A and B are shown apart, each in its own frame.
Chain A
Amino acid sequence: MIEIGLIVRALLRNKIGALLIALQIALTMTIMVNAIFMIQDRQSQMQRESGLDEANTFYLTNTVFGKDYNLQAEMQTDLNSIRKTPGVIDALQINAIPLSGGGWSMSLQHEPGDDKDTIGSAVYMVDDHAINTLGVELLAGTNFSAEDIEWRVDGQSTWPSKTIITKAFAEQLYPDNWETALGKTIYISQNQPMQVIGIIKTLQAPWNGWGGVERSMLVPFQMETQSSYYFIRTESGRRDELMPIIEKTLAESNKERIIRRVTTLEETRKRSYRRHNATNKILTTVVITLTLITGFGIVGLAIFSINRRTKQIGTRRAIGATKWQVMRYFLVENFLISCVGVIIGIAGAIALNMWLVKTFNLTPIGFELIAFGAVALFIVGQLAVLYPAKKAALIPPATATRTV
């Protein structure tokens, strides 16, 4: 027969130690649940698809310093040369690299005017090779044709009349049905019309922490500029082999420019989420440390309590308690303390989460995580008290008759 009533009444008469442990459990629960939630949130961010064929793409920076350098002609020569290289699927010039942290964004709106609501989007300036080079999936509409591509000079404020947008952007523009975005005219720079000619599945913006990271648009621009990126997609498994070859070919083909920062998309992703990874490691360490401290606290309290009650335990054994009944007493006692801690902890976890949601625009915590935290702490508590409880069960009944 489980002596819950007796244990509760005994705890109520001796509550300071138990209350401190319950508060420690509550604090651990509060921090643990929210830390795991933040880890999961970052983990899911890191697992989002960029939309690119990351394993087989790389990019490099082409920086021109020659005075009589023909930017348009040389760029076409470079791209033709890269595209003809055996093992290369396609290549293009682009103004920004997804997840790299640096890029362009523009505000778009349904109607022209300076007082209309706008939606931000990352802007990638590309040619008609974009779909193939980036490896993005065209869900609806068409790709740009070669005739759609315009040259853009530094400082130019006009925009082409066509665009391809991501599905996430289309959903933001037309929440009822993203497919209706196809063929619609949207406005950039307040009043310049652009027709949506295609919708692609996914293409992330350059900024992984931006709320609109899934909103991107392709614009048919080739840039007449001193510095731009060449983005290259290779056949599967040939990226690493082709990176130095293309770098060397480009560098040797024209000495009036510098080819540098030859980087894979995988490296860019890794660098992009370096802080996420570091934060997750810190949070994981905090969770483990707190859980261990709580476990040690429970062990400490239980051992202290057993040492204080040695004679009492001996007496219990003398009047008929089996070893298991003594062990069970401490397991149940710890379970009850854990219950109080977990209940306070659930309230604390929800309160902290509400604050985090309000302050950092996170999503609310799920019930499963709270349940996981509660079960985890019950298990930690029971494991922590197991050794002291076993020790208590070994106290001989003859202790009851000892006078010291």
Chain B
Amino acid sequence: MLVMKNINKTFQTGNIQTHALNNFNLTVNEGDFVSVTGPSGSGKTTFLNIAGLLETYTNGEFTLDGKDVGQLNDNGRSRMRNEKIGFVFQGFNLIPDLNLFDNVDVPLRYRGFDAKERRRRIEENLERVGLASRMKHLPSQLSGGQQQRVAIARALATEPRFLLADEPTGNLDSQMAQGVMTLLEEINQQGTTIIMVTHDLELAMRAIRTIQVRDGRVSELDVVAEKASA
């Protein structure tokens, strides 16, 4: 469960203060699929960075899986990212010098799994995204959609409680975007909580809940019940 209460994030540039998040409140339950939309500069990415422990917040309360995030030091945040959160980035963020197998291996090594366990997880997750046969290929030898699938496999390999996706289809054509979206839905149905930032309203509406961020706060909620009754 992810709970944010009155989260504020202020950036200071010289004498100018920018309030990226302003009393931001959100609760994401276990198994949710939440899409986050909003105009550019509304605070979507700042929210995602804070939710993913990539950035600290100025004040407020934030608990993730029952833990007070504000109490964690840098190492604790790294460990929590590795153990509980999986990331899917708009630009895939694969390591170009490593093949698919090694790319998925990276977070598993940080976790300290032994070689046998790592191999099992890598093969299982590449199989899950349909790329097991290409595990020795480099990212540059794959299409954008395939690269994003590898990024999803990497995110899932650590068996995270939360999958945070930042414009996961932003660099893909519509057909590939549909494929990635279907994969995310499958993952959600298997129990992983997903928070997805997107500009694409059509894709956003495929989530269980959609929230809109405007001026650094949640301005609107569409809940699963409404979607189900529509």
Known interface pairs A3-B109, A400-B87, A401-B48; 20 further A-B residue pairs with C-beta atoms within 8 A, sorted by A's residue number: A1-B109, A6-B105, A10-B98, A311-B91, A312-B95, A315-B89, A316-B106, A318-B54, A319-B87, A319-B158, A320-B82, A322-B110, A323-B74, A325-B110, A397-B54, A397-B78, A398-B49, A401-B45, A401-B54, A401-B90
A320 touching B48, Cβ below 8 Å: no
User: Can you name the residue of chain B whose Cβ is closest to the Cβ of A402?
Assistant: B45
A213–chain B nearest beta-carbon distance, Å: 59
Hey, what's the 0/1 contact readout for B59-98 against A, CB within 8 Å counting as 1? Answer: 0000000000000001100110111001101110101111
B44–chain A nearest beta-carbon distance, Å: 10
B167–chain A nearest beta-carbon distance, Å: 9
A313-342 contacts to B, CB under 8 A, are 315-325
B132–chain A nearest beta-carbon distance, Å: 19
Per the bound structure, the CA–CA distance linking A1 and B138 in Å amounts to: 23
A401 touching B166, Cβ below 8 Å: yes
Among candidates B55, B93, B106, B112, residue contacting A398 with C-beta atoms closer than 8 Å: B55
A7–chain B nearest beta-carbon distance, Å: 10
B74 touching A320, Cβ below 8 Å: no
Interface of B toward A, CB cutoff 8 Å: 45, 48-49, 52-55, 74-75, 78-79, 81-83, 86-87, 89-91, 93, 95-99, 102, 105-107, 109-112, 138, 154-155, 158, 166
Among candidates A10, A317, A401, A403, residue contacting B78 with C-beta atoms closer than 8 Å: A317
Q: Does A396 contact B (CB under 8 A)?
A: yes
A321 touching B87, Cβ below 8 Å: no
A398 touching B54, Cβ below 8 Å: yes
Per the bound structure, the CA–CA distance linking A6 and B91 in Å amounts to: 22
Residues on B with beta carbons closer than 8 Å to the beta carbon of A316: 106, 110
> Could you pull out 25 A-B pairs where Cβ atoms are within 8 angstroms?
A1-B112, A5-B102, A6-B105, A6-B109, A10-B97, A13-B97, A14-B97, A311-B93, A312-B93, A312-B96, A318-B87, A319-B81, A319-B82, A319-B87, A319-B107, A320-B82, A322-B74, A322-B75, A322-B110, A323-B78, A325-B78, A398-B54, A400-B87, A400-B93, A401-B54
User: Can you name the residue of chain B whose Cβ is closest to the Cβ of A324?
Assistant: B75
Residues on A with beta carbons closer than 8 Å to the beta carbon of B49: 398, 401
Q: Does A9 contact B (CB under 8 A)?
A: yes
User: Can you name the residue of chain B whose Cβ is closest to the Cβ of A323?
Assistant: B74
Per the bound structure, the CA–CA distance linking A401 and B88 in Å amounts to: 9
Per the bound structure, the CA–CA distance linking A325 and B81 in Å amounts to: 14
Residues on A with beta carbons closer than 8 Å to the beta carbon of B111: 320
A400 touching B95, Cβ below 8 Å: no
Residues on A with beta carbons closer than 8 Å to the beta carbon of B54: 317-318, 396-398, 400-401
User: Can you name the residue of chain B whose Cβ is closest to the Cβ of A311?
Assistant: B93
Q: A316-B106, A398-B49, A398-B54 are in contact. Are A6 and B98 (CB under 8 A)?
A: yes
Residues on B with beta carbons closer than 8 Å to the beta carbon of A317: 54, 78
B105 touching A320, Cβ below 8 Å: no
Residues on B with beta carbons closer than 8 Å to the beta carbon of A319: 81-82, 86-87, 106-107, 110, 154-155, 158
Hey, what's the 0/1 contact readout for A4-21 against B, CB within 8 Å counting as 1? Answer: 011001100110000000
Hey, what's the 0/1 contact readout for A373-404 against B, CB within 8 Å counting as 1? Answer: 00000000000000000000000111011010
Residues on A with beta carbons closer than 8 Å to the beta carbon of B86: 319
B47–chain A nearest beta-carbon distance, Å: 11
| Residue among B82, B97, B98, B154 with most chain A CB within 10 A | B97
A14–chain B nearest beta-carbon distance, Å: 6
User: Can you name the residue of chain A whose Cβ is closest to the Cβ of B93?
Assistant: A315
A322 touching B89, Cβ below 8 Å: no
Among candidates B78, B83, B90, B154, residue contacting A321 with C-beta atoms closer than 8 Å: B78
A397 touching B97, Cβ below 8 Å: no
| Residue among B78, B89, B158 with most chain A CB within 10 A | B78
Per the bound structure, the CA–CA distance linking A180 and B48 in Å amounts to: 94
Residues on B with beta carbons closer than 8 Å to the beta carbon of A320: 78-79, 81-83, 107, 110-111, 158
User: Can you name the residue of chain B whose Cβ is closest to the Cβ of A316?
Assistant: B106
